[in-house]
Homo-oligomer: A and B are copies of this chain.
């Protein structure tokens, strides 16, 4: 696990250096803009597990990339660029969801709206917050590409990895859009919940980063297929564990209040299975109770506990646990279906265990 922490540290160092360089260059362009960029920099560097760079890095190593080669420096920059995509996704997602807090700090749109109010500027504070969040998220998205394409990778390597990179960004945005659309349409189906998990978490967080790393190493189709199978399964399992923790997790461990997923109206597979089970069993009252809980911002801790008990009673919790188990097993099988260079296979297996275990 020491290697994991060390990799996260190296990603952070490379990111800090890149953002500092760009921010310094921006000071010559526009000093107020450069100062707005500070908040972006704070956001990128304030934490996160650097999970996407880690999958891409170990994907590269596992496909034969040599961490001691000259190319490793360029690869580290390229995989670190994934964090800038993630920054853009979070800044825009928080705006879309109107979330006020992330990682214990105000979200970008909230921070800029607060500054507007504190300085008693003209016009609407929320609108200013919106503008700043849209534009800073755009900066992060643009810089992600800049960082990748100036990482110093050979042209043929970049060309090989481009399709995975392109698919990753588009699938992430497709997942975000489907998530929003599913909520407004009130789509309770199990299939919609699964599709969002496949796009937002599996493809974007695990499968494509691994695929990208493999292409950087010039992997053959056996390794790429194994990675994608591993990622598609593990990514969904990972999201399902997150959904369970969102309702049943210990806030001290998860870092967010239990039940926030419910309050925010997130259409998780857990809930979809609960409503489906209630409907199939003719327990329309139970289905209605669940529907009333989803998206109710005033849900108390007791309501959350009761909703969790109802979901367990309906068999939805067991069903989700069962899926996690199956998906994780399928992921592990894929990981052992072909030759993956050590220590990458061990690291990926550890990440799979960590991402899906109950006490995460």
A interface residue numbers (CB < 8 A to B): 22, 25-26, 29-30, 32-33, 36, 88, 92, 95-96, 98, 116, 119, 121-123, 127-128, 130-132, 134-135, 137-139, 141-143, 145-146, 149-150, 154-155, 158, 162, 166, 169-171, 173-178, 180-181, 183-186, 195, 199, 265
Contacts and interface: CB of A to CB of B under 8 A. Distances in A.
User: Which residue among A123, A137, A149, A177 has the maximum number of chain B CB atoms within 10 Å of its CB?
Assistant: A177
A92 B178 contact: no
A29 B169 contact: no
Contacts of A149: 145, 149, 158, 162
Given A162-B150, A166-B146, A185 B96 contact: no
User: Which residue among A96, A127, A170 has the maximum number of chain B CB atoms within 10 Å of its CB?
Assistant: A170
Given A131-B96, A162-B150, A184-B121, A138 B173 contact: yes
A-side binding surface: helix, strand, loop or mixed? Answer: helix
A184 B98 contact: no
A138 B265 CA distance: 24
Given A132-B177, A177-B33, A185-B121, A170 B139 contact: yes
A163 B8 CA distance: 28
16 contacts: A33-B173, A92-B138, A98-B127, A121-B186, A122-B183, A122-B186, A123-B183, A131-B177, A131-B180, A135-B176, A138-B138, A145-B145, A149-B158, A150-B166, A154-B155, A155-B155
Contacts of A146: 162, 166, 169
